[in-house]
């Protein structure tokens, strides 16, 4: 009888009617609880029962325990869900995680190339397939919501999140938003514009981020200031959100950054007047991690003012993530005192509940264990390997174009492989992999570039490997060619801000020392263009930009040994010197080392799109 009397529990009732019915039953405390997202480390029965917390997340590196499998994550999240369902109204939590290149926090999941590599593919269908595969692996772990994709348009590679951007070109970023349809499913014909959509239990709630202009900050400073008139902000940085909204994206995350000095988390004009009213977005706006705390400086000097600014600006769900009791207390005070209108609270909670109903959380709140066999499965690893192949950009092939080094001879007598990144899965995957900042070493399951080379060569080929080239090896006369793999160590967000962009670990010197003695293919593993010194360019025989390829190093061996051709094109302009930055396609693109869209292949000497 209770099910019949509670309209919100009736799965056949219209979603908007269910939202209104549930909202009408909620106390102010319960509404504020729905607006509060807390870190999994602080979840307790009290938090769910007494504070009606509506959402839980894990930060990068916050796992149930080391090397926890998808089934372990599902056990944890189902436990949180049981607490929520046992509460007075039984409103399920929505659990969120940064699954930004596969379900990258979970050991054993498929790790796809980071977005900059996908931008090099220009392949919208591939992005959609990656979204579909990622959704399955995310749902297998019990997670309902991914804070992805990042649809920033990166205008300066000094930015520490450059690799999270598909391109410096708005058109390519717009094209690659097809990953949202992969994550959430394809909305039916006639689906209302701006209304959130999630197709079913094999799909996840997506999040377009970071609204807006995060890739255009002055000098590429993370959380910095984007200095643009509104029409340029709209033309360059906002257009991808139109595509996200047209695909039914369910949530949008506000940016840490500022627009002409106005912090986005407190900008009512952009969050409400533009995103919600003009663009018609009907999902919910979520803050970034402690994003509202940064609104007033010095930090923690006026938290009440921060909460008031953010909620009145249009933030609906707040990623607190730890001190939720203080947040709840202050938000309640601001509502009771009239600083935040009750209508603003109701609007926020309506949006949150709408997404929960759309995602089917009331009907299917628990994990689907039948999906566990999709995690790291062959089909998904094959898809990731395809993405790696298509992302590689060939920058040079032969000191003389009539004598190319590539494709390499897999049956050569002796091959030398060296460099800091040749046999390091963590470096290959980059940031946002197992840990927030990423890490070195065998951090998950996958194939390193060295392992892929060894699998690809002939039975009679000897592969000599040294992390650092020794004089003894370099003096050998019978090495056919060398493969030197160097690049950046993993980083995330502000830890990746870099004003010099030199190849770390003396990468230039390592390449040159080998190329002086042996015909050399240099592979650069990085989240962005790095400084390529004239000496390096002169001495190497071939040069490949591999970006951050993820767990499937086999995709690199597939192409360098000629099983597949190079098809990747630069998604960003490759500068000659940092003093020339910012430089990007169509504007300020004078005299680049390699122009936007450049990419060689085996069948064509050069191609620029």
d(CA 91, CA 8): 10
* Contact present, 487 and 449 (Cβ < 8 Å): no
User: Residue 324 pLDDT more than 80?
Assistant: yes
φ, ψ at 63 (rounded to 5°)? -125, 160
Pairing of β 318-319 and β 520-525: unpaired
Running DSSP on this structure, what letter comes out for residue 327?
H
Q: Give a yes or no: residue 604 inside a domain.
A: no
Q: Check whether residue 303 and residue 444 sit in a common domain.
A: no
d(CA 327, CA 322): 9
Residues in the chain: 609
SS3 469: coil
pLDDT at 586: 76
User: Is 288 considered catalytic here?
Assistant: yes
φ, ψ at 133 (rounded to 5°)? -65, -45
Q: How many domains does the chain have?
A: 2
Q: Check whether residue 399 and residue 365 sit in a common domain.
A: no
* Contact present, 146 and 204 (Cβ < 8 Å): yes
Catalytic position from the list 98, 288, 316, 552: 288
Q: Give a yes or no: residue 535 inside a domain.
A: yes
d(CA 21, CA 1): 16
Residue with tokens 């390193």: 448
User: Residue 2 pLDDT more than 90?
Assistant: no
- 169: Cα separation from own chain's centroid: 17
**Domain coverage including residue 238:** 16-374
pLDDT at 584: 87
The verdict on pTM exceeding 0.85 is yes
Report in angstroms the alpha-carbon separations of 37 from 74, 230, 342, 352, 437. Answer: 18, 31, 20, 11, 22
Q: For 138-206, give the secondary structure using H, E and C.
A: HHHCCCCEECCCECCECCCCCCCCHHHCCECCHHHHHHHCCHHHHHHCCCCCCCCCCCCCCCCCCCCEC
Q: Check whether residue 457 and residue 349 sit in a common domain.
A: no
152 pLDDT tier (thresholds 50, 70, 90): very high
Strands ordered across the beta sheet of 207-211: 207-211, 251-254, 284-286
Burial of 333 (0-12, 13-18, 19+ CB in 10 A): middle
Q: How many CB atoms lie within 10 A of CB 336?
A: 11
Torsion region of 387: left, alpha or beta (phi above 0 gives left; psi -120 to 50 gives alpha): alpha
pLDDT at 608: 63
Pairing of β 414-418 and β 284-286: unpaired
d(CA 583, CA 576): 10
Catalytic position from the list 168, 493, 497, 541: 493
For the stretch 517-575, pLDDT in tens is 999 999 999 999 999 999 999 999 999 999 999 999 999 999 999 999 999 999 999 99
d(CA 260, CA 237): 14
- 61: Cα separation from own chain's centroid: 15
Q: Give a yes or no: residue 291 inside a domain.
A: yes
Q: Give a yes or no: residue 529 inside a domain.
A: yes
What's the mean pLDDT in 170-179? 98
For the stretch 255-302, pLDDT in tens is 999 999 999 999 999 999 999 999 999 999 999 999 999 999 999 899
DSSP secondary structure of 52-121: ---EEE--TT--SSTT--HHHHHHHHHHHHHHHHTSSS-PPPEEEE--SSSSTTSTT---PPPHHHHHHH
Pairing of β 55-57 and β 542-547: unpaired
Give me the chain's average pLDDT, please. 97
d(CA 427, CA 424): 5
Q: How many CB atoms lie within 10 A of CB 76?
A: 22
Q: How many CB atoms lie within 10 A of CB 541?
A: 21
161 pLDDT tier (thresholds 50, 70, 90): very high
d(CA 357, CA 8): 9
pLDDT at 455: 98
What's the mean pLDDT in 116-143? 98
- The domain boundary, picked from 325, 348, 374, lies at 374
Q: Check whether residue 346 and residue 470 sit in a common domain.
A: no
Q: Check whether residue 127 and residue 245 sit in a common domain.
A: yes
Distant-in-sequence, close-in-space partners of 245: CB < 8 Å, separation ≥ 6: 193, 194, 208, 279, 280, 281
Q: How many CB atoms lie within 10 A of CB 496?
A: 25
Q: Check whether residue 152 and residue 254 sit in a common domain.
A: yes
Q: Check whether residue 315 and residue 406 sit in a common domain.
A: no
Task: Choose the weakest-confidence range: 208-217, 315-324, 598-607.
Answer: 598-607
Query: What are the beta bridge partners of residue 521?
Result: 483, 542
For the stretch 488-522, pLDDT in tens is 999 999 999 999 999 999 999 999 999 999 999 99
468 pLDDT tier (thresholds 50, 70, 90): very high
Q: Closest Cα to residue 39, out of 315, 436, 337? A: 436
SS3 599: strand
Output the six-digit token pair for 460. 């009679």
Q: Give a yes or no: residue 47 inside a domain.
A: yes
Pairing of β 94-97 and β 55-57: parallel
Q: Check whether residue 309 and residue 445 sit in a common domain.
A: no
SS3 609: coil
Output the six-digit token pair for 568. 């990747």
d(CA 31, CA 23): 8
- The proportion of the chain whose per-residue pLDDT surpasses 70, expressed as a percent, equals 98
Q: Give a yes or no: residue 225 inside a domain.
A: yes
User: Residue 72 pLDDT more than 60?
Assistant: yes
pLDDT at 605: 58
Q: Give a yes or no: residue 9 inside a domain.
A: no
pLDDT at 499: 97
Please report which helix (H) or strand (E) contains residue 378, including its range.
Answer: helix 378-391
d(CA 38, CA 59): 10
Output the six-digit token pair for 584. 């990007």
φ, ψ at 195 (rounded to 5°)? -85, 135
What's the mean pLDDT in 20-28? 98
Please report which helix (H) or strand (E) contains residue 417, including its range.
Answer: strand 414-418
Bond into 328 cis (ω within 30): no
pLDDT at 607: 60
pLDDT at 87: 94
Q: Give a yes or no: residue 129 inside a domain.
A: yes
Running DSSP on this structure, what letter comes out for residue 303?
H
Q: Check whether residue 366 and residue 398 sit in a common domain.
A: no
* Contact present, 372 and 140 (Cβ < 8 Å): yes
Q: Check whether residue 205 and residue 335 sit in a common domain.
A: yes
Residue with tokens 């938000």: 331
pLDDT at 1: 40
User: Is 214 considered catalytic here?
Assistant: no
Q: Check whether residue 366 and residue 480 sit in a common domain.
A: no
* Contact present, 72 and 119 (Cβ < 8 Å): no
Q: Check whether residue 369 and residue 418 sit in a common domain.
A: no
- The domain boundary, picked from 374, 401, 416, lies at 374
- The domain boundary, picked from 374, 402, 421, lies at 374
Residue with tokens 């607006």: 35
Residue with tokens 């690893």: 381
The domain that holds 367 is classified in CATH as: 3.20.20.300
The domain that holds 498 is classified in CATH as: 3.40.50.1700
DSSP secondary structure of 235-287: IIIIHHHHHHHHTT--EEEEPSSEETTEEGGG-HIIIIIIIIIIS---SEEE-
For the stretch 8-22, pLDDT in tens is 999 999 999 999 999
d(CA 384, CA 428): 13
- The proportion of the chain whose per-residue pLDDT surpasses 90, expressed as a percent, equals 96
């Amino acid at each position: 009888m209770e099910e019949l009397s509670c309209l919100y529990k009736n799965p056949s009732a219209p979603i908007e009617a269910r939202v209104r019915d549930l909202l009408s039953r909620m106390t102010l405390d319960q509404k504020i609880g729905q607006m509060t997202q807390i870190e999994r480390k602080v979840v307790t029965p009290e938090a769910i029962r007494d504070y009606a917390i509506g959402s839980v997340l894990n930060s990068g590196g916050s796992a149930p325990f080391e090397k926890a499998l998808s089934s372990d994550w599902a056990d944890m999240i189902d436990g949180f869900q049981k607490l929520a369902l046992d509460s007075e109204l039984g409103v399920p939590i929505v659990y969120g995680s940064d699954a930004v290149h596969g379900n990258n926090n979970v050991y054993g999941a498929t790790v796809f190339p980071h977005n900059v590599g996908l931008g090099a593919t220009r392949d919208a269908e591939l992005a959609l397939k990656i979204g579909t595969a990622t959704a399955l692996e995310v749902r297998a772990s019990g997670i309902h919501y991914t804070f992805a994709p990042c649809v920033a348009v990166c205008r300066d590679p000094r930015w520490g999140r450059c690799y999270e951007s598909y391109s410096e070109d708005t058109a390519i970023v717009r094209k690659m938003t097809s990953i949202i349809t992969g994550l959430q499913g394809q909305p039916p014909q006639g689906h209302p514009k701006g209304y959130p959509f999630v197709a079913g239990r094999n799909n996840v709630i997506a999040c377009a981020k970071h609204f807006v202009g995060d890739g255009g900050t002055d000098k590429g400073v993370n959380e910095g200031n984007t200095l643009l008139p509104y029409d340029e902000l709209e033309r360059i940085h906002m257009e991808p959100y139109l595509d996200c909204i047209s695909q039914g994206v369910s949530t949008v995350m506000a940016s840490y950054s500022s627009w002409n000095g106005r912090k986005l988390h407190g900008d009512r004009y952009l969050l409400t007047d533009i995103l919600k009213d003009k663009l018609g977005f009907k999902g919910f706006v979520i803050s970034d991690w402690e994003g509202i705390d940064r609104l007033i400086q010095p930090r923690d000097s006026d938290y009440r003012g921060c909460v008031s600014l953010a909620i009145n600006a249009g933030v609906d769900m707040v990623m607190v993530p730890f001190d939720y009791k203080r947040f709840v207390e202050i938000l309640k005070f601001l509502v009771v005192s009239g600083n935040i209108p009750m209508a603003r609270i109701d609007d926020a909670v309506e949006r949150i509940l709408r997404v929960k109903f759309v995602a089917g959380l009331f009907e299917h709140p628990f994990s689907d264990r039948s999906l566990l066999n999709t995690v790291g499965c062959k089909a998904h690893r094959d898809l990731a390997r395809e993405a790696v192949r298509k992302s590689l950009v060939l920058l040079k092939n032969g000191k003389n174009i009539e004598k190319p080094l590539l494709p390499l001879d897999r049956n050569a007598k002796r091959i030398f492989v060296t460099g800091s990144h040749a046999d390091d899965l963590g470096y290959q995957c980059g940031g946002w992999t197992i840990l927030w900042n990423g890490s070195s070493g065998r951090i998950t399951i996958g194939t390193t570039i060295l392992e892929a080379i060894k699998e690809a060569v002939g039975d009679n080929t000897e592969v000599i490997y040294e992390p650092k080239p020794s004089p003894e090896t370099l003096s050998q006369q019978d090495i056919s060619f060398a493969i030197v793999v160097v690049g950046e160590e993993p980083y995330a967000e502000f830890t990746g801000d870099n004003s010099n962009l030199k190849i770390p670990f003396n990468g230039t010197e390592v390449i040159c020392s080998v190329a002086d003695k042996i015909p050399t293919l240099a592979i650069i593993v990085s989240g962005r263009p790095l400084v390529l010194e004239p000496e390096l360019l002169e001495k190497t025989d071939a040069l490949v930009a591999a970006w951050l390829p993820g767990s499937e190093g086999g995709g690199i061996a597939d192409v360098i040994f000629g099983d597949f051709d190079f098809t990747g094109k630069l998604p960003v302009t490759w500068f000659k010197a940092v003093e020339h930055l910012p430089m990007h396609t169509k504007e300020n693109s004078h005299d680049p080392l390699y122009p936007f869209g450049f990419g060689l292949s085996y069948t064509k000497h050069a191609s620029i799109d």
